Structures are given as C-alpha cells and as structure tokens.
Amino acid sequence: KRSTGPVDQWTKTTCVYCGVGCQMEVGSHDNKVVAIRPTDSPVNHGHLCVKGRYAYDFTHAPDRITHPMLRRGSDWHAVSWEEALSFTASRLQELRNKYEADSLGVLSSARATNEENYLAQKFARVVLGTNNVDCCARVCHQPSAKALKTMLGTGAATNSFSDIEHTSLFMLCGCNPTENHPIVGARIKQAVRAGAGLIVIDPRRTELAACADIHLALRPGTNVLLFNAMAATLLEEGLQDDDYIAMRVDGLAGFSSFITAYAPEQVASQCGVTSGDIRRAARMYALAKPAMCFHGLGMTEHLQGTQGVMSLINLALLTGNLGKRGSGINPLRGQNNVQGSAQMGCEPASLTGAQNLADAKVRASFEQAWGTNLPTSAGLDLPAMLAAASSGKFKAMWVMGYDIAMSMPNASQTLAALAQLELVIVQDLFLNETAKAVGHVFFPAASVFEKDGSFMNADRRVQRVRQVVNSPGEAKPDWQIITELARHMGHEQGFKFDAPQAIWNEIRSVWPAGAGLSYQRLQNESLQWPCPATLDDNHPGTAILHQQGFGAGPKASLACIDYQPTAEVCDDDYPLLLTTGRELYHFNAGTMTYRSPNAVLKPTDTLDISPADARLLGLAQGQSARISSRYGTAVLPVNITDKMQVGQLFCSFHRADLNVNALTSPYCDNLVHAPEYKVTAVKVKGLTAE
Ligand code: SF4
C-alpha cells in the first residue's frame, strides 16, 4: 500500500486506464499528484483496482518530454512551439502539394479526450482534406462495433454495468475481467457468489474460469464454430424463445437449415472441447433468463473477429436476450476512451456519432456545420496506411498517444513500413518506440491529470475528465496542439476554441444522440447515450439499447456465418500456439504503468506455459526462453502455470524491450482489419545463463 503525504486538494476525475471508467478523486500537493482514492459511481461503487489507484507516477516521471522537438539527423533538438508548428505545417503542406491529400493521415487514440478525438478527425478532414483517420479501436474492438452495428444498428454495448446485479447468468467469451477490467471482474464474481450462473469460454483457466459452472477451453480461433454449434443445439432441442423471435427476429427459416451443418458432434473436436459441454452450455444460456454476455479481445483479434461477434449475437437473438435488463452483448472495451475515439469520428468511413460518411445527407450536414466541402471516399485504416506506406503511396502520419511501433503486430514489418514515411509526427508524454525509430517531430502532450474534457466508457457513459495539476514545461493538451497546428495551416475558423466545453458543444450540435449531454449535466452526473436534447433538458440517457427495435426497424436478422480457419497454423517447425494479452498490473505499451510502483509488483512479461510442455521442453520456472515465430523472435522468462492448456502459450506485451509483437502474425480480421494477435504458431527453446 502506498503512503501519501499532505494533500491540498482533491479533484474528481475519470481513470485513465481501462474502459470500465471508474470515478476517482486525485489528491494534489505542490502541483503534484500524490494520491488517488475511489469515489462512488454507478460504475465502480467506491472501488478502484491496482492500476487506477496506484499507477499515477508516470505523470511526474523524469523522462517526460516537456519541450517540442525536431529530429536533425539522429539527434532530437528542443525547439519552440512556434518553430515546431511552423515546420510541421509547412512539411504537411509541401507533401500534400507534392503528392496528394490522401498521402497524409492522422491516428488518434484513447489517451485523448472525446473533444480531442473530435478535433483530430476534423483536422484530417477539413485541414488535410482526407478521410485517412483512425484510432486504436482498430486493433481491439472495431470487430465488435462492426458486428453490433451491422446486426443491431448501434456499434456499442447493448446494456450497462449496472445490469451485472440483475442477470441470472454470465457468459464470458474471450475476456479475463478480473485482470483486465478488475472492477467489473469483481462485480461479476460477487454476483456469481450470490447465485448467478457462469459460463466461461476461454482457452486459459482464468480466475473466473476456475469458478465457472462450465468452462469451455476452446482452441483459439474457433469461436464461430463454437457459437454455431451452440445455435444448432438451441434449435435442435427447441430451446429458442419463439415469442421473442416472432416479434423481434427475421431469418429463422434460412438460419435453421444453415446451422444443421454445425451440430456439436460434428465440430467439437475442432474446437478442442466436448460436444456434451457445448450442449450443456447452450442449454444453460438458453434456460437462464436473463443471460448476459461480456466479451473481450479473445473474440475480436482473429481472422473472423467480426463474424465471431455476429455468431454470438445470433445466440442472444435466438434466446430473447436483447433489449432487456440483465442481458445483451457487451464488449469490454480495453481502454478508457476507445469507445469515444471511434464515436467521435476517428474512423475512415464514419463521421462523428458513427454517422455514415458515404451518406450524402450526412456529409452535407457536416459540410454545413464545418463550412467546407468534405472528401467523399472512405479513407485508409491504420493497417491500410502502413501497407500504403510500404508501397510508397502514403507519406506522412500524425500519431497521438499511440505507440504504433510497439503495438502493431509483426513489428519488423511495421517498422519497415513506418521507415518509408517522409514525415512522422509523434504526440505523447514520452519518447516512445515509434518516435525513437522513425519520428521527425515530437509534440509534448499533457497527461490525463493535466487537462479537461470527457471520456466515454464501455457502457456508453460520458464522464468528465478534470485538470488536477499543470503540465510540466511546455507540454500542452492535445486539443490545444491541434487547434494551433490548424491555425498554422490557415484554418483559424473552425478551430477557434478556448476550452474543451466549447468543443463539446460543437460535438453536441453534429451528434443528435449526444445532444442532451451538456457539461452542466455532466458536472454532477454521468449519462449514457443515446441522450438526445429535450425541451426540459432532462433526458435520462439510455441504459439498455434495443428495448423497442433495432436500428432501422423492429426486427434484427440472424446471420448465417460459415467458419473459416486462419492461415496461421502450427506445424512441425512451429508446433505451439501463442496468444498474447494484458495482465493485471500493467496497461498496453506499459508507458504509464512501468513508470509506477506496479513495475515492482510485476517486473516483466512472462511466457506462460503448461507444466507438461515445460517438462517436455526442459524448461524451469524463471528460466529465459527464446520464442520464435515465422515473423520474429523474443526472449522471455518462463512461467509454468496450470492455467495453460498443453500445446498453448500466453504472454503479455507490456515491456518495450521484450518486443513481444516481433512474434505476432500479419493476418487480420477479414472485415475490419483488427490484427489476429490471438493465434501465432511458435517454437520455444530454453536458454542457459551465460
Ligand atoms: Fe481504472 Fe479500469 Fe481499474 Fe477501474 S477497473 S480503476 S477504470 S483500470
């Protein structure tokens, strides 16, 4: 437990880490963050996890970059903001003139507030003249958003965390909430102790899997097969909700004949589970009313990530588990504001509020609001930007709060693509791996404790972020940097904001579902969208989607999805299957948590391996092992654990120097390009100490 010194002031704000969005008070003394304590909220009920509560020292880390910098040769030089902005503006203009607007792009992230993400995409579209804008949702839950939007009409969680205490059964798919969303994990655990049923679908024996009624330890990459087999069971055994289907679901006849090919007895061995367990899980999910699904990146980071979520939605439609309290399909968003990044329009084919760029009426309304014509064709997403960079068609990227070189799969290929760019602008707290390798300009950004704004959590809840301390040196909030660069590129009008509230009011004017979310209301409460404007300004927000209908109509259609195996397969040379993910003490690229005492609690990523495989390979606990894939190698200490199945490995990816993404494959989701981080064929060799 951390000891704290004197506190002058407590400031209420939102956690910077996962998408649960816990509320906290941050204690400051002498312009320093010195303590954090939880506050009560509908999300966290007065609790915080080990990341939110203790991992705040990054904000005062000695290696914070506090001045703008330009790289000359191999060295970085501190310069004034004026010099950095003028240089960047003229380089962007030069490249746009020499090539075209679509050779430029912007990458925003969950580190930025809603207001900053909104300005990032407006900058790309209005100032640069391109729809090449994306965010970190691309590598995590873009498949969830696509699946939910396609089948139900809204690309977000259907229900709320407050439903956890009102469900009869949880089905957790490819998620490990006690480590990655710990406050939600703890609430689920308490609800299970109080009598709710629990099905866990996960290759690893996670903490919640160990206390589940049924644990389906499926082979990674077989989600579609498994959910199809559960759907086949429901229909074969007459467990579907006929009344609900009659009122709310289309396509049953075609789906019923399609799904017979997926009887559990036909697919169980491919999934690595028994047909009996698949049938038991299907019965349990169908008979418990209501039943609630949460899912994580074990669902989405696959070749069929989007289709895996769609096949899960089929189950909810067949059993009437949508539009009701304690039910639904709920992606556990990994980052504080990843829902907000995409929702604000940091997507190549969508404008703010997930409004369709291809719709001329939508475009016209934004053109009127922004006073300019907009580019009409969908832009490039991040993987497509990197591919275009490799082929020489993409020239410049502005990256905000996102360490691409470390986070993207197949690191050597990513670095080779980034090295082709003529201009890389990195905006961050620290000189991250991307900046070190390929950066030309560095803009020092304010941390979450140094700015105002709002975040949007995983259950569509908008919550305020409040400034606690001043930024060090000349670091600035992202929104100020964007407005200043826009001005340097001749766009004073449209970027003249004196505070985040003014930006938020513009967002409300172009996003009807968020129009009722005024700062005045958010001052004392948090609200979930849709929250349209009303005459009396008291719309309660929407805790449960789809109570009356789905998107365009009263009914949603079942989707017939055939299973397609990934091309990334094990063979004699690479006989083991590696999945990667996060763990309790650290967060993503480790930028923040490794600059906190959490680094002592968990000092390194490890290679998790089953006792049987460790014996076979002659590996001892703590010994270094070299992991090799078809794409690269990494060396990690061995952790022998019975959480792992024979033939499967797991490692987290938080330490830059260990470079776990050197291993991961270039394959990605076949609809929205989320990388297939969850399936890499590898071999392992123990190393002897020198
Ligand atoms: Fe922060 Fe997530 Fe932990 Fe809550 S559960 S304190 S939001 S990291």
What would the pLDDT profile of 499-538 be if each residue is shown by its tens digit? 999 999 999 999 999 999 999 999 989 999 999 999 898 9
* 575 has a pLDDT exceeding 80: yes
Closest-lying ligand 1 atom to the alpha carbon of residue 181: 5
How close is the Cα of 395 to the center of ligand 1, in Å? 37
How close is the Cα of 89 to the center of ligand 1, in Å? 38
Q: What is the pLDDT of residue 23?
A: 97
Closest-lying ligand 1 atom to the alpha carbon of residue 48: 6
Q: What is the pLDDT of residue 420?
A: 97
Using CA atoms, how far apart are residues 276 and 576, in angstroms rounded to an integer? 26
Using CA atoms, how far apart are residues 320 and 327, in angstroms rounded to an integer? 9
The mean pLDDT of 573-590, rounded to a whole number, is 94
Q: Residue 553 pairs with which residues in a beta bridge?
A: 550
Nearest in space to 608 (alpha carbons), one of 567, 573, 634, 579 = 579
Which of the listed residues 26, 49, 180, 592 should we mutate to test ligand 1's pocket, taking the one with most ligand atoms within 8 A of CB? 49
In angstroms, what CA-CA distances link 689 with 350, 564, 686? Answer: 53, 43, 10
Predicted structure pTM score: 0.96
Closest-lying ligand 1 atom to the alpha carbon of residue 336: 7
Q: What is the pLDDT of residue 552?
A: 76
How close is the Cα of 300 to the center of ligand 1, in Å? 21
Closest-lying ligand 1 atom to the alpha carbon of residue 17: 8
How close is the Cα of 17 to the center of ligand 1, in Å? 6
Closest-lying ligand 1 atom to the alpha carbon of residue 182: 5
Radius of gyration of the chain, Cα coordinates, nearest whole angstrom: 24
Secondary structure class of 505 (helix, strand, coil): helix
pLDDT band at 589 (very low <50, low <70, confident <90, very high): confident
Q: Whose CA is nearest to atom 3 of ligand 1?
A: 49
Backbone angle region of 115, left / alpha / beta, with phi > 0 → left and psi within -120 to 50 → alpha? alpha
Using CA atoms, how far apart are residues 508 and 658, in angstroms rounded to an integer? 43
Using CA atoms, how far apart are residues 155 and 366, in angstroms rounded to an integer? 21
Collect all residues with Cβ–Cβ distance below 8 Å to 689 and sequence separation of at least 6: 624
* 690 has a pLDDT exceeding 60: no
Which of the listed residues 14, 20, 184 should we mutate to test ligand 1's pocket, taking the one with most ligand atoms within 8 A of CB? 20
Q: Whose CA is nearest to atom 4 of ligand 1?
A: 22
Question: What residues are in contact with ligand 1 under a 6 Å CB criterion?
Answer: 15, 17-18, 20-22, 44, 48-49, 51-52, 181-183
Using CA atoms, how far apart are residues 675 and 109, in angstroms rounded to an integer? 17
Secondary structure class of 462 (helix, strand, coil): strand
Closest-lying ligand 1 atom to the alpha carbon of residue 43: 4
Nearest in space to 295 (alpha carbons), one of 140, 113, 499 = 140
In the sheet with 23-29, reading across from the earlier edge strand, the strands are 9-14, 23-29, 32-38
Q: Whose CA is nearest to atom 1 of ligand 1?
A: 52
Query: What are the tokens at 624?
Result: 């270094």
How close is the Cα of 47 to the center of ligand 1, in Å? 9
Query: What are the tokens at 563?
Result: 């299973």
Closest-lying ligand 1 atom to the alpha carbon of residue 457: 7
How close is the Cα of 20 to the center of ligand 1, in Å? 6
Secondary structure class of 516 (helix, strand, coil): coil
The mean pLDDT of 236-256, rounded to a whole number, is 98
- Residue 279 is given by DSSP the state H
Which of the listed residues 47, 48, 456, 457 should we mutate to test ligand 1's pocket, taking the one with most ligand atoms within 8 A of CB? 48
Q: What is the pLDDT of residue 5?
A: 78
How close is the Cα of 199 to the center of ligand 1, in Å? 23
Domains and CATH numbers, the chain: 69-139+336-528 (3.40.50.740), 142-331 (3.40.228.10), 576-686 (2.40.40.20)
How close is the Cα of 581 to the center of ligand 1, in Å? 17
Amino acid at the residue 21: G
Closest-lying ligand 1 atom to the alpha carbon of residue 20: 7
Q: What is the pLDDT of residue 688?
A: 83
- Write the pLDDT tens digit of every residue in 602-625: 999 999 999 999 999 999 999 999
Collect all residues with Cβ–Cβ distance below 8 Å to 257 and sequence separation of at least 6: none
How close is the Cα of 627 to the center of ligand 1, in Å? 31
pLDDT band at 198 (very low <50, low <70, confident <90, very high): very high
Which of the listed residues 164, 178, 181 should we mutate to test ligand 1's pocket, taking the one with most ligand atoms within 8 A of CB? 181
The mean pLDDT of 375-395, rounded to a whole number, is 97
Collect all residues with Cβ–Cβ distance below 8 Å to 635 and sequence separation of at least 6: 624, 625, 626, 627, 658, 687
Q: CA torsion, points 351, 354, 360, 365, in degrees to nearest 10?
A: -60
Residue position matching structure tokens 């079942």: 558
**What is the DSSP track for 327-346?**
-SEEE--SSTTHHHHHHTT-
Q: Is the dihedral of CA 78, 83, 84, 88 positive or negative?
A: negative
